[in-house]
């Protein structure tokens, strides 16, 4: 059914597997559209009682595919229209996962970078391979975190951790993710798939209504302002997409050199 991901049924569980391993599962336009369809599919399927999101190959996801920028719509001013992509594709994916009345597991089989951090953190439980890490790389190309990343990190690990990840753009390895509360369990790489399947099977056999009730409480207390935060991020990100620093950051990334930011 899909070109960039796999949707697997495992009894009453469903596994959504990002499947662009040659690009470390980077999000291009096609992956975003297909992921939104898959998430809505499992959310609306009463036969699915638990969901797992993971990646194929060596990565969970390396974030937005910068080589895909040429395929993006432009604003009237000629800048990449990140606001449209965020609000029509990325945000519905994240909010549907966050609010569906069934448990969602993020299984970080490898690095989770940029928007992939948000994809993982909007899930209910996070499993992490010992070789995996998180990285908010936006600052390295002159952008700001989006997809609710700072709100989600602040909720789990505090504003200090969110600020450091946003401003420094450094990798956070699995043991540190666990200490900070950003993931719930770190698993040996060689046992990861078996443990992921066992967790999904147990949740799929559990009290679905109880899980849904707990999610409603958590969402009401911690995420009642998520929609407004996402819109604010999209607005600020669009401003960043018009900056000289963003153009320099993308050029430096594609040319594999250190960017020279001007602050403009």
pLDDT exceeds 70 at position 88: yes
- Answer for the pair 168, 145: CB distance below 8 angstroms, yes or no: no
pLDDT exceeds 70 at position 71: no
pLDDT exceeds 70 at position 56: yes
d(CA 184, CA 257): 36
pLDDT computed for residue 74 by the predictor:
79
The CATH architecture one would assign to domain 5-190+207-255 is Alpha-Beta Complex (3.90)
Of all residues in the chain, what percent carry a pLDDT higher than 70? 99
Q: How confident is the model at residue 187 (pLDDT cuts 50, 70, 90)?
A: very high
pTM, two decimals, is 0.95
Please list, in sequence order, all residues whose beta carbon lies within 8 angstroms of the beta carbon of residue 90, skipping any fewer than 6 positions away. 32, 115, 118, 146, 147
Q: Give the helix ranges, DSSP H, for the chain.
A: 29-44, 82-85, 91-99, 115-121, 149-157, 159-168, 174-180, 192-204, 208-222, 226-241, 244-255
Q: Kind of pairing, strands 133-135 and 172-173? A: antiparallel
pLDDT computed for residue 40 by the predictor:
98
Q: Where are the domains of the chain?
A: 5-190+207-255
pLDDT computed for residue 73 by the predictor:
78
Pair of tokens at residue 92:
């519905």
What is the per-residue pLDDT across 228-244, written as a single tens digit (0 to 9) for each? 999 999 999 999 999 99
172-173 β-sheet, strand order: 112-113, 133-135, 172-173
């Amino acid at each position: 059914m899909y070109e960039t991901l796999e949707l697997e049924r495992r009894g009453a569980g469903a596994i959504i597997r990002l499947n662009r391993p040659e690009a470390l599962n980077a999000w291009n336009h096609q992956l975003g559209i297909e992921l939104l369809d898959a998430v809505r599919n499992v959310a609306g399927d009463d036969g699915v009682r638990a969901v797992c999101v993971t990646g194929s190959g060596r990565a969970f996801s390396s974030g937005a595919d910068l080589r895909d920028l040429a395929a993006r719509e432009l604003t009237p001013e000629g800048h990449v229209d990140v606001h449209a992509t965020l609000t029509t594709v990325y945000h519905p994916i994240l909010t549907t996962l966050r609010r569906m009345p069934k448990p969602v597991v993020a299984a970080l089989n490898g690095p989770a970078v940029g928007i992939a951090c948000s994809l993982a953190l909007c899930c209910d439980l996070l499993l992490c391979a010992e070789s995996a890490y998180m990285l908010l790389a936006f600052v390295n190309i002159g952008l700001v975190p989006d997809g609710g990343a700072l709100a989600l990190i602040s909720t789990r690990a505090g504003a200090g951790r969110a600020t450091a990840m946003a401003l420094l753009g450094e990798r956070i390895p699995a043991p540190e993710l666990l200490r900070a509360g950003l993931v719930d369990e770190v698993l040996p790489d060689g046992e990861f798939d078996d443990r992921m399947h066992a967790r999904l099977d147990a949740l799929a056999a559990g009290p679905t209504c109880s899980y849904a009730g707990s999610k409603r409480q958590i969402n009401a207390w911690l995420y009642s302002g998520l929609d407004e935060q996402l819109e604010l991020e999209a607005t600020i990100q669009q401003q960043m997409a018009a900056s000289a620093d963003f153009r320099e950051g993308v050029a430096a990334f594609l040319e594999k050199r250190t960017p020279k930011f001007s602050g403009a």
